[in-house]
Amino acid sequence: MRDRNVELVERRLKALGFDVTVVNVSPEERRPDLRTSKDGMIMFVEVKTRVTNHALRRRMESVAVGDMQSFLVPLDKKNFLSNYVKKANAQLGAAASPADFRLLWFREDNDLFVHDFREQIGTTLLGMRMVAVLRDGGSERFPCFYAAPADFFRYREIDGAMVEQVDGALTLFLNQFSPREAAFASSPICQAIAPAIVDVRDGDRLGQWYVIDSDVDRKDDDALLSFLRKKYQAVDFLQFTPYASGLSVEILKFQTALDSGKSGKYDGFPVLWMLRIFGDSYPASSSTACARPAA
């Protein structure tokens, strides 16, 4: 049986005008899922799905019936996401030639226990942390890219990563370390979803965030801050701060799958009402818009 997530990505690519061929029909095969072509370009695609965040689920289900609790959800680099990237890199490399583009496509599962999907993947790929600065007469926090180990730097053969959120919105993260980065930036896939593209260098030029483009030790915050002060001399860098968003969770009542008409996915667990009340959003700019499917 074919993976439904692969089928949905195949359908999405065809809607964007690509010819698509299924490559991997067996979960045991270490090959990419799809081969696409358009305007003479060949691109291989590996599909991964972000499913339940088990740590988040445990915290949410610890809230007693009738209570409301607020807590932070860390958005730092995730090792399990890095494992997805490592496996995808090997699968894409098993079929693609040196000239072929290689795209990792992440889909968000429609699950109560997935939160800030795009932000967590972006942080893992781009090594992003938040840094506190004194700028323009005030204290603010800004994103700082490559301030932590970045999977794009480690797996340079991946040209980009598409993130598809549960509402169908797309965001494409470009890998500036790819040997095909210039060609990929003007490729049909980039043209198809522009301006929903994150290019770290564009935001750096516009002053929207900061970039550590040096071999400085990522485990030495003092060295990282020293590099930033030398590169951006008009800015006073104070310290790195946690990157997180907030959730408020209220248990309205205890409801089983039988009560709710669900298929049993949450059988025996409370139904949760969630409302985000505070937290960081992903760096906002014209380059981080979301491409949404046509109605």
**Within-domain flag for 206:** yes
Q: Where are the beta strands (DSSP E) in 119-213?
A: 129-135, 138-145, 160-164, 170-174, 197-198, 210-211
**Within-domain flag for 96:** yes
Which sign, positive or negative, has the C-alpha torsion 173, 181, 146, 227? negative
CA–CA separation, 22 vs 282, rounded Å? 33
The whole-number pLDDT of residue 245 equals 63
**Within-domain flag for 153:** yes
**Within-domain flag for 293:** no
Per-residue pLDDT of the chain (295 residues; tens, 9 = 90+): 567 889 999 999 999 999 999 997 666 678 999 999 999 999 999 999 865 566 666 766 676 666 777 766 667 777 878 999 999 999 999 999 999 999 999 987 655 555 567 788 888 999 999 999 997 778 899 999 999 999 999 999 999 999 998 788 899 999 999 999 999 999 999 999 999 999 999 999 999 999 999 999 999 999 999 999 999 998 999 999 887 666 566 655 444 443 334 333 434 444 444 443 333 443 433 334 456 565 4
CA–CA separation, 242 vs 246, rounded Å? 12
**181: exposed, middle or buried (Cβ count in 10 Å: 0-12, 13-18, 19+):** middle
The whole-number pLDDT of residue 251 equals 58
Omega within 30 of 0 (cis) for the link into 195:
yes
pTM of the model: 0.78
**Within-domain flag for 41:** yes
**Within-domain flag for 294:** no
CA–CA separation, 92 vs 45, rounded Å? 7
HSE of 133, CA atoms in CB hemisphere, 13 A: 23
**Within-domain flag for 235:** yes
Total count of domains within the chain: 1
**Within-domain flag for 295:** no
Q: Give the range of the structural domain holding residue 14, as residue numbers without chain letter.
A: 4-288
